[in-house]
Amino acid sequence: MGSHPAGRPLAELAAHVGGTLRGDGSLLIRGVGGLAEAGPGELSFYGNPRYRDALLVTRAAAVLVPSGEPPLRTDLAVVQVEDPHLAFARISALFHPAETAPPGVSPSARVHPQARVHPDATVMAFATVEAGAEVGAGTLLSPGVFVGRGARVGAHSVLHPNVTVREGCLVGDRVVIHASAVVGADGFGFAFDPGVGAHVKVPQAGIVRVEDDVEIGACTCIDRATTGETVIGRGTKIDNLVQVAHNVRVGPHSLLCAQAGISGSAELGAGVILAGQVGVVGHIRIGDGARVVAQSGVVHDVPAGETLAGSPAIDHRAWLKLSAALPRLGELLREVRALRARVAALEGSEESEENR
C-alpha cells in the first residue's frame, strides 16, 4: 500500500524534512517502509539502536538516520535528520494522503430533518444523525455511526464504523474516532439506598467535550459527566480500549495507551503519558509532563514531570531498585534466620563469660 508509481526524488524528500543528504539525490523514492519490509525504491528510517542489524541488511534504497550517526553502509543513501521517526512520519504522509470520500448523504443514512449536516460532509449508509445535531465540512461519518440529539461534530473529522457519539456531546475539528468507540455513555454513578436495598442511578446529565486534533482508539469509552463536562484536551491521542470516566479532564497533547483506565473526576495535565493498562484512581491530579509506566496504579496526586511505576505507583527509580531487590527476599529471610542463631550463640557464651 502507499506506493507511488512515479516516485519522488530523494533530494526533494530530504529538503521536505530539512535533512542532510548523503548519496544520490536523483534517486526516485516510490514508497516508505520499516527496515525489514522496505524494498528497492523505498525509504526507511533508523531511530533505535536495537534495529542496527536490520539496518545492516535492509533492502531499502535510502534511510533516515540521526544526525551524526556514523555511516554503517556505504551502499545506502542516507538522510541525516534530528528525529528520524518524525521525519519518517512527514515523508510517509506524502505517500499516504488522507483519503477523501465524495461528499453527500447516502440515501441509506438517517439524517433527522432538524439536524444540520454541512454539504461537504459525507454521511454513509446506516449512519444516524439525530435532531439538532451538527456535522461540519469535510467530516466523514462511516456506516453504523450514531450522532445523538444536539451533538456536534466539527470539520474534517473522521468517525469510523459503528462509533457512537451520544446526545449533546461536542467533538472538535480534525478529530479521528476509531471503530466501535463510545463517546458520552452514562458515567458509572449510583447511590446505594439502604431503605430499598438497591443502587439508585445518579442521572448523568453532563456531556463529553473532545477538543480539536484528538484521536480516540477503537472500543475506547469516554463517559459523559454527571453534571458539567468530561474533557479531552486538544491534540491528545488515546489508544484502544481505554476507559475515561465521568468528569475526568485530560489536558492537551497527552498520550493514553491501550487499556489504561482513568477514574471519575481525575485531572491530567498537559503532555501526560499513561502507558498500557495503567489505572488512575478518582479525584486526583497528575501534573504536566508526568509519565506512568505500564500496569501501574496511581493513587495520589503526581507532581509535574515525575515518572511513576508500580501498583501502588511510586517514584520510578525507587521502583526499579525495589524490583531488583524483591527476588532476593527469600534469601534475606534465610539470612536473618542464620544471623539470629549466631547472635543467640554469642549471647550464650556471653553469659558463660559473666559466670566465670
Chain positions 235 to 254 lying near a second copy, rule: CB under 8 A, are 235, 237, 239-241, 243, 245, 247, 253
Sign of CA dihedral 306, 311, 317, 318: positive
Please identify, using beta-carbon distances, which residue of 40 and 74 lies nearer to a second copy: 40
Q: Is 268 in a helix, a strand, or coil?
A: strand
Interaction between residue 108 and a second copy (CB under 8 A): yes
149 contacts 164 by C-beta, under 8 angstroms: no
Using CB under 8 A as the binding rule, whether residue 54 contacts a second copy is answered as no
The verdict on whether 246 is a catalytic residue reads yes
Min. distance of Cβ 74 from a second copy in angstroms? 25
Nearer to a second copy, 71 or 323 (CB): 323
Measure the CA–CA gap between 224 and 149, rounded to whole angstroms. 14
How far is residue 176's CA from residue 159's CA, in Å, rounded to a whole number?
6
Considering the complex, what minimum distance in angstroms separates the CB of residue 66 from a second copy? 13
Residue 259 within binding range of a second copy, rule CB under 8 A: yes
**Which three cell numbers mark 146?**
450514531
The answer to whether 269 contacts a second copy (rule: CB under 8 A) is no
Dihedral (CA of 81, 84, 85, 91) sign: positive
Q: Is 25 in the site for a second copy (CB under 8 A)?
A: no
Write the interaction track for a second copy spanning residues 68-107; mark x where CB under 8 A is met and - where it is not.
---------------x-xx-xxx-xx-xx---------x-
Say if CB 281 and CB 299 are below 8 A apart. Answer: yes
**Binding of a second copy by 37 (CB under 8 A):** yes
End-to-end CA distance of the chain: 93
Residue number, 52 or 85, with CB nearest to a second copy: 85
Instruction: Output DSSP code: residue 302.
Output: B
For residues 150-209, which are near a second copy according to CB under 8 A? 160-162, 164, 166, 168, 176, 178-182, 185-186, 188-193, 197-203, 205-207
Q: Which of 156, 160, 178, 246 is catalytic?
A: 246
Nearer to a second copy, 71 or 201 (CB): 201
Please say whether the beta carbons of 205 and 232 come within 8 A: no
* Smaller CB separation from a second copy, 25 or 155: 155
The answer to the question of residue 52 lying near a second copy (CB under 8 A) is no
Under the criterion CB under 8 A, does residue 125 sit at the interface with a second copy? yes
φ, ψ at 232 (rounded to 5°): -110, 115
What backbone torsions phi and psi does residue 228 show, to the nearest 5 degrees? 85, -140
Strand-pair partners of 142: none
Which residues does the annotation mark as catalytic? 246
